[in-house]
Structure 1
């Protein structure tokens, strides 16, 4: 059984991460990731991994940085007008906690809204954060976003869920 103080810390981390994304604090968000982290949005329900299967997104830290730089670039015409996002989260559940190893997994149901100009898109799903405690700070080792309609024909997702 996980202690409540740790559970509150993990929940607060997930909420703070979503807030950073909604406020476009992408550089600060990027620093939440471990050096070998992955950001993964599977293409099919129950997909076992992102390395051997096609995914909607399967990005390491370098690719995340490139996307962030593109979003910040004034010449990024796909961002005229700029996209905005909102994350509505259910209270995160702590799925796994290995305090000795400093590895934790949270599961959060969400509704994500992205808007650009007159177009608004909504997605529902579950996000799994695999968090690692490094030098007493929580870092994202893996962020897996399981979209409810991941196997549908989806438009381009401009920001981060």
Structure 2
């Protein structure tokens, strides 16, 4: 294998990674989902959607590192969690992911994926739309999420509580 081939990021594999990540959430496999994040990984839902340049200059709906994500997962799994009686379930409907940028030498790629997110709990159902921006990094353990940015359509409006991960 040549050095160039070794460093190349396969676009089809990157797109499969994004689809597989959403499937883990739909299957409530939260621990497996969390394992997809790099040690310095972040989950970010900006309040201003695509217009928000960073999580520091304006409030965000969520900006969580792996520790905070782990705490959310533990809360979801706790049988005493009132918000999970009845249990919440979700379905991610993804359009095809598109590769926005990749750097084979550094081993990073940025993908954009339009989505619909449906969350159901009891007789209540919530539907949100937007686009994901996954920043992926190649590690010794395979691809990992350095950042998952969730750009919600109309994020600045009053939103009901989302129990799971968009």
TM value normalised by structure 2: 0.93
- Aligned twin of 2:43: 39
Secondary structure, aligned partner of 1:112: strand
Q: Give the gaps of 5 or more residues in structure 1.
A: none
Work out which of the residue numbers 97, 107, 127 in structure 1 matches 2:102. Answer: 97
Is residue 2:130 matched to residue 1:125?
Answer: yes
Give the alignment's Cα RMSD to 1 decimal: 1.2
Aligned residue-pair number? 158
2:162 pairs with 1:157: yes
| CA deviation string 1:69-99 (max 9, x = no partner) | 0000000011100100000000100000101
How do 1:68-87 and structure 2 match up within 5 A? 68-87=73-92
Stretches of structure 2 lacking an aligned partner (at least 5 in a row) = 1-7
Question: Cα distance, 1:52 vs. partner?
Answer: 2.9
2:157 counterpart SS class: coil
Q: Distance in 1 between matches of 2:162 and 2:125?
A: 11
Normalized against structure 1, the TM-score is what?
A: 0.95
Residues in 1 aligned to 2:91 and 2:160: alpha-carbon distance in whole angstroms: 17
Runs of 4+ in 1 over 4 A off after TM superposition: none
Could you tell me how far apart the structure 2 residues matched to 1:61 and 1:147 are?
21
